[in-house]
């Protein structure tokens, strides 16, 4: 009875310890000493094996982001007479106004597209956060159940060990 009780105590204790470690890692990440020692050992292993570091393609991603656009503007030249100069100024001013209106429309359209993309991205992020929160709650509930079973095993093992000792 004492051996069975000790085995049940060990099983219960192991269940509680494993679940507490899992919850701690899920909620707060790995403990710092594990992260530091893991990083230190990886660095030592990398130096021993003389593995070159990774190089990421930054230039390629930057080239993909750059875009080019061009515009052609028509301007009327100034004539020798005052009337021709005023006509040229009026024509050029009308051209500038129409170009400005076209650019404002383009900016408004691109701003609308960006707002739509931002809204869609925000909705996707909120949905993902809700799903992660639900998964987190499910994990915590299951962890609580495992810990409860661990406590039950531990208590049963303690009772059996005490009964075996008597």
- The count of domains in the chain is 1
Integer CA distances (angstroms), 15 to 93, 135, 152, 159, in order: 81, 21, 10, 18
Q: Examine residue 63 and state whether it is found in any structural domain, yes or no.
A: no
Domain that holds residue 28: 2-50+81-165
Residue range 120-163, pLDDT digits in tens:
999 999 999 999 999 888 888 888 888 888 888 888 888 888 88
Dist. CA 27–CA 161, nearest whole Å = 35
What does pTM read for this prediction? 0.45
Please report the pLDDT score of residue 63 as a whole number: 47
Q: Examine residue 72 and state whether it is found in any structural domain, yes or no.
A: no
* 129 φ/ψ angles, rounded to the nearest 5 degrees: -65, -40
Dist. CA 34–CA 39, nearest whole Å = 8
Residue range 95-120, pLDDT digits in tens:
899 999 999 999 999 999 999 999 99
Q: Examine residue 67 and state whether it is found in any structural domain, yes or no.
A: no
Q: Examine residue 57 and state whether it is found in any structural domain, yes or no.
A: no
How many other C-beta atoms lie within 10 A of the C-beta of residue 160? 19
Q: Examine residue 70 and state whether it is found in any structural domain, yes or no.
A: no
């Amino acid at each position: 009875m004492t051996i069975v009780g000790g085995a049940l105590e060990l099983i219960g204790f192991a269940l509680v310890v494993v679940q507490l470690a899992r919850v701690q890692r899920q909620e707060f990440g790995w403990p710092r000493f594990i992260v530091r020692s893991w990083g230190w050992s990886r660095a030592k292993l990398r130096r021993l094996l003389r593995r070159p570091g990774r190089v990421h393609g930054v230039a390629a991603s930057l080239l993909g982001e750059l875009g080019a656009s061009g515009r052609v503007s028509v301007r009327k030249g100034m004539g020798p007479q005052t009337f021709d100069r005023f006509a040229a100024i009026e024509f050029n001013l009308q051209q500038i106004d129409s170009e400005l209106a076209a650019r404002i429309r383009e900016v408004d359209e691109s701003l609308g597209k960006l707002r739509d993309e931002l809204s869609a991205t925000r909705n996707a992020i909120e949905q993902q956060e809700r799903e992660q929160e639900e998964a987190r709650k499910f994990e915590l509930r299951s962890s609580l159940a495992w810990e409860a079973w661990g406590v039950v095993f531990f208590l049963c093992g303690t009772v059996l060990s005490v009964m075996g000792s008597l």
